[in-house]
Structures are given as C-alpha cells and as structure tokens.
Structure 1
Amino acid sequence: MGALTIAAYDEIADWYENQFLPTSTPGDPIGIRASLARLLGTGAEPVLEVGCGTGVHAAQLRELGWSPMGVDLSGRMLAYANGRLPIAQGDATRLPIGDAVLGAVIAMMVHTDMPDYPAVLREVARVLRPGGTFVHVGVHPAFCGGFADRTDPAAVIIRPGYLDGHWTKQSWTTEGVRNRVGASHLPLPALLQAFLEAGLELAGFAEGGGPVPTTLSMKAVRRRAVRT
C-alpha cells in the first residue's frame, strides 16, 4: 500500500455502517444480490472480494457455499468487516496474493471508488487461476454518474459528461456516498475494453433496478494465457 494512496472511506466509515446501511431500502431494489447469485452461482472454495468495505456481502457468499475473504484500503471500514470475513488491508492495484491461486474474485459496487480500475482488473486476472471467474457488480456507467439526474426514477435526465471519463463529487442526492467521497467514471466501451486488455473474457451480463437500470453486472473468465 503506497504512501500516496488515500483511503477516502476512512472519513465516512462510521456514517456508512451506522446510518447509510441501516436506512437503505430493504430487499434488493437495484438487483445487487440477484446479480451476484446469477453470475457467480454456487461454489465450495475461497472467493476474494476486492474492496470489501464493511463486509456486507459475506453472508450471501456463504449462503452460496463460498468461503469469503476480503481486501480493502480503508482500515476503518475493515474494522467493521472484522468478524464478518477474513480480511487484509491493501491496495486493489497491488493485491497481497500470489499469482493464479484463486478460483473466484468479486467486486461489489466499488469500481467507481477505484481511480485506476483497469489496473485493478489486471490484478484480478493475475490472482485468478486460468479459467477462474470474476464477477463485477457496479453502478451502470450509462445511467449513473455526475451527468445523471435520478431525482425522478421514471425520467432519468442525462446531461453532457458521460463521454468525458472523469472524477466528481457531483450527485443528484445529498443522502448517498458519491457526494461524500466522489466517484471515477469510465464510459461503457472503456470499461469493457479494460476487461479484455486484462485478459478477462466476458461471459455473462445482468442489469438491475428500474424502470431505468441502476446497476450493470458482468461475469468474466480468466483466459488460459494472459498478456503481461
């Protein structure tokens, strides 16, 4: 973990755990759980969650048969994750894991928190065994971001900015995470290209939320040979 790397979530960890999560809409309104279950499926081996935060997805992973473990940059978020799953503090662009040792990796609603997500994808490919599975569940790059006003869910307004690829704290709501820690945006083609260049072969997709999707999820498989 480099000295210049900053854990933005350290500043909001208490709010996230004690206020944001308890007041979130119950159930699975934007399809996070459904997408994870559909694309990852059941398993019986370790699965690494990159950017695990407070460990809120560990219980579902166990329900699916997996043995979850997590890596996150924020020590204060990991303080809440401790006890929910085995954890390590680390930078997602330099995972503290050996080459080709894991059968599955997931990233849950975190790619906009990671300024160099293409580098994260390369690390995911490095730690996956050939044929291993990566599941990305994230905000929808076409319908979410500083350019999208979702005040009226029935008529989302898309303003200029989608094509730019930028970091911003601009958000349609003051009750969420993005106006507090900001978000990095990748247009959809750039996001998909980053998967391919990392050596991850796209194998499945899902959208969640409505009437305009909020999440876009993807399943990818590490190719037998990964370019270095």
Structure 2
Amino acid sequence: MTTAAYDGIADWYEQEFLGGPVTDGSPLSLGPVLRELLGTGSGGTCLEIGCGTGVHAAQVRELGWTPVGVDLSAGMLRYADGRLPVARADAARLPFRDGSVSAAIAMMVHTDMPAYPAVLREAARVLRPGGVFVHVGVHPCFCGGFADRADPEAVVIGPGYLDGAWTKKSWTAHGVRDKVGATHLPLPALLNAFLAAGLTFEQFAETGTPTPIVLAARARRG
C-alpha cells in the first residue's frame, strides 16, 4: 500500500495541531455538530471513514454507537489504535460487507480524498438500509486555495472556486493544508455526489462565524 500524505505529519498533527487552541473548524470544535447530526445510537457500529488519530471515537461512544475506523495513513493509525478498532484501508475500497454498518461519518476529510464521490458510493454500499451517513467538511464556498481567511472578519474570495483543483495554497502556515494539500469540489459537485451514491439528504448545518468554515450534512441510505 502506498505511503499516505499524513504519515509525514502524524506526530505534528497529534501533538501540536490537536494539542493547540480549539478554533473554528478544528477537529476538537466539531462535537456539537456531530452530536446534532449523528444523534444517539443503541450500540450499532459507526464507521469513521478517514478516522486519522481517532479523536472523535470517544464522542461516538458517548452517543451510544460502537466506533470503528479506517484510514490510509499508518502514522495516524498509530495514535488511533488505542482509541477505537482500526484498519488501514483506502476509503474508496472499504473492507466491509454490503449493508454491514448502522452509521458512518466522515469528519473534515473530503478534501483529503480526490475520489470522494467513490468514497460516498462505498459509504452507501456498507450502510444497512436506512443507515445514516454524516459528512462534516470544510465549507466549499468559503474555504480553499481561492479563500484568504487571514482576516476572519473579512474573508476574501478570489478566482479558483470553480476550478475543482488540488492545491497546497493556504492562508496560514499553522494548519494542515499547506502541509498535505487539499482537493476542492464546488458545492454542486459535492452535493450531486451524494445523490449519485444513492444517499438522501435529511439535514444540513454550518459552523464558524462570521463566515462559515464548516458545511455538514446528514444523509440516509434508502
């Protein structure tokens, strides 16, 4: 299996990025939106696609689900291993049977997955009928190489939103994107990928002020 981009920054991510202040859009600030959209379970399996270091596993358990995770990065999984059962796998080829999980979540990872439409199809495949999928990701309209967020009170949007390009361009040197890059999907392409995968939207949410940083959605397999 190929080396993952996050292997080179796994220690920094766990020790510095997660250990720093909690800011809008950071993994540690996403508890309320995850609670709102995932809701409570009754012990069923909740698969985290792109689980990274497993930072969300504790909350998934608190909500009554049994968390399991997959990630391509062996470096990140070193930290996740003590937090939830994990497997190293490509999110576009999940090592789960059809209809075998009750819920699935993808937390701030869709820009790390150039084949995210294929990931959504895989999520729909492994969900049981009626199973819920929660997507929490950077907001396509206000985050990306085209967005300068250096002044949080006046985000500047430049050309590039429609390009759907991969880039390492970032407004800050203290985040993740300047280190591993990001793939951008315009809003219609992202939403249409859910529909093409057979997922039905139920609820949306935005977080971050005054300009949203996160766009989240709950969808369900029919």
Q: TM-score range by the shorter chain?
A: over 0.9
How far apart, in 2, do the equivalents of 1:62 and 1:33 lie? 12
3-state secondary structure, aligned to 1:65: coil
> 13, 17, 40: which one pairs with 2:10?
13
Residue 168 (structure 1) aligns with: 167
TM-score (norm 2): 0.96
- For 1:121, give the aligned amino acid: L
The equivalences for 1:63-74 within 5 A come to 63-74=62-73
* Distance change >3 Å, CA 183–CA 100, structure 1 → 2: same
Change (3 A) 1:83 1:29: closer
Structure 2 residues not aligned, in runs of 5+: none
Q: Distance in 2 between matches of 1:166 and 1:214?
A: 19
Once the two structures are TM-superposed, the CA of residue 63 in structure 1 deviates from its matched residue by 1.1
The amino acid that maps onto 1:24 is P
CA distance in 1, matches of 2:58, 2:77: 16
Q: Distance in 2 between matches of 1:62 and 1:161?
A: 39
Mapped partners of 1:220, 1:25: distance in 2: 27
Cα displacement (A) at 1:198: 0.4
User: In the alignment, is residue 188 of structure 1 matched against residue 187 of structure 2?
Assistant: yes
Q: Deviations over 1:149-179 (max 9, x none)?
A: 0011110000000011010000000110000
Structure 1 unaligned spans of 5+: 224-228
- Partner residue in 2 for 1:153: 152
Partner of 1:226: none
1:92 paired with 2:88, answer no
1:204 Cα shift? 0.5
Q: What's the offset of the Cα at 1:146?
A: 0.4
Q: Is the 8 A contact 1:28 1:34 kept in 2?
A: no
Show CA shifts across 1:24-62 (max 9, x none). 326987952111101110002110000000000001111
**Residue in 1 that maps onto 2:133:** 134
Counterpart amino acid of residue 94 in structure 2: L
Indicate which of 37, 40, 50 corresponds to 1:39: 37
For residues 33 and 173 of structure 1, what CA distance do their matches in structure 2 show? Answer: 24
Q: Distance in 2 between matches of 1:158 and 1:20?
A: 25
Please, which of 21, 24, 42 is the counterpart of residue 24 of structure 1?
A: 21
Q: Is the 8 A contact 1:32 1:215 kept in 2?
A: no
8 Å CA contact 2:68–2:85 kept in 1: the answer is yes
In structure 2, distance between residues paired with 1:195 and 1:34? 23
| Residue number in structure 1 paired with 2:78 | 79
1:200 corresponding residue in structure 2: 199
Alpha-carbon RMSD across the aligned residues, in angstroms, is 1.5
Tell me which amino acid in the other structure corresponds to 1:103. S
Identical pairs, percent: 66
Query: Would the alpha carbon gap of residues 166 and 26 (structure 1) be closer, same or farther in structure 2, given more than 3 Å must change?
Result: closer
- Counterparts in 2 of 1:94 and 1:57: CA distance versus 1, 3 Å: same
- Give the counterpart letter for 1:125 in structure 2: A
- Counterpart for residue 114 of structure 1: 113
SS in 2 for 1:125: helix
Residues matched between the structures, number: 220
Counterpart mapping for 1:214-225 below 5 A: 214-223=213-222
Take 1:212 and 1:6, find their aligned partners in 2: how far apart are those partners? 35
